């Protein structure tokens, strides 16, 4: 079971049980939804922006421990960060999980390093990256002048 402890580390279990920033932001400047139709995982991301900076972030949704903890730790990581810094985090997270040649370490990844073990479970990588893709969708709406859907109901 040592492999499983690598996947289901205490930090992940904690964020699954007590997700941070698990709330609707009202009002929100940006909203995007991530949905994995194959497994049914859903995540909604709410952003409040101050210029180039993510002032506040909230999320809602349902999914497995990996997807929920990933969304929770993502919100902790990027709250207060600029959009540029957020994009770097996105790329690093993606590389850590999908690029075998990447050797990102704890120093670079911070708490997100807890998901390094997901790389060994190919069927679960999409669970960890779902919220990040939803976040990017929300941010990209900032760059393209599309009115974001608000779904607070």
Partner 1 sequence: MNSPLDILTLQPPEPVARPAQPFDVRRIRADFPILGQQVQGRPLVYLDNGATAQKPRAVIDALSHYYTDQNANVHRGVHHLSQVATDAYEAARRKVATFINAASDREIIFVRGTTEGINLIAQTFGREQIGEGDEIIITEMEHHSNIVPWWMLCREKGAKLRVIPMNDRGELCLDTYQTLFSSRTKLVSVVHISNVLGTVNPAREIVQIAHAHGVPAHIDGAQAVPHQRVDVRALGCEFYTFSGHKMFAPTGIGVLYGCETYLDTMPPYQGGGSMIQNVDFDNITYGNLPNKFEAGTPNIAGSIGLGAAIDYLNSIDFDGAAKYETNLLEYAHDALRGVPDLKLIGTAERKVGVISFTLSDIHPHDVGTILDQAGVAVRAGHHCAQPIMKHYDIPAATRASLAFYNTREDIDALVSGLHSVRKIFG
By the criterion CB under 8 A, which residues form the site for partner 1? 1, 3-5, 7-8, 13, 38-42, 62-66, 68, 121, 123-124, 127
For partner 1, the closer CB: 83 or 125: 125
Cβ 65 to partner 1, closest distance in Å?
A: 5
Cβ 9 to partner 1, closest distance in Å?
A: 10
Cα(151)–Cα(39) distance, integer angstroms: 22
Find out whether 130 and 41 touch, Cβ atoms under 8 Å.
yes
Cβ 64 to partner 1, closest distance in Å?
A: 4
For partner 1, the closer CB: 13 or 106: 13
What order do you get walking across the sheet with 30-36 strand by strand?
30-36, 41-50, 53-62
List b or e across 9-39, with b for residues whose CB sees 16 or more CB atoms inside 10 angstroms. Answer: beebeebbeebbbeeebeebbbbbebebeee
Cβ 111 to partner 1, closest distance in Å?
A: 20
For partner 1, the closer CB: 30 or 124: 124
Cα(66)–Cα(125) distance, integer angstroms: 9
For partner 1, the closer CB: 7 or 109: 7
Helices and strands per DSSP (H, E), number in the chain: 6, 3
């Amino acid at each position: 079971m040592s492999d499983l402890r690598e996947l289901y580390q205490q930090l992940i279990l904690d964020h699954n049980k007590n997700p941070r920033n698990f709330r609707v932001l009202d009002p929100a400047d940006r909203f995007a939804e991530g949905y994995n139709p194959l497994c049914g995982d859903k995540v909604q991301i709410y952003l409040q922006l101050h210029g180039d900076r993510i002032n506040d972030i909230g999320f809602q949704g349902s999914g497995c421990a990996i997807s929920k903890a990933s969304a929770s730790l993502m919100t902790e990581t990027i709250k207060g960060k600029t959009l540029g810094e957020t994009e770097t985090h996105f790329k690093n997270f993606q590389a850590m999980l999908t690029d075998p040649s990447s050797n990102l370490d704890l120093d670079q990844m911070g708490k997100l390093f807890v998901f390094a073990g997901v790389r060994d479970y190919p069927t679960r990588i999409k669970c960890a990256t779902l919220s990040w893709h939803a976040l990017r969708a929300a941010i990209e709406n900032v760059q393209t002048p599309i009115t974001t859907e608000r779904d607070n109901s």
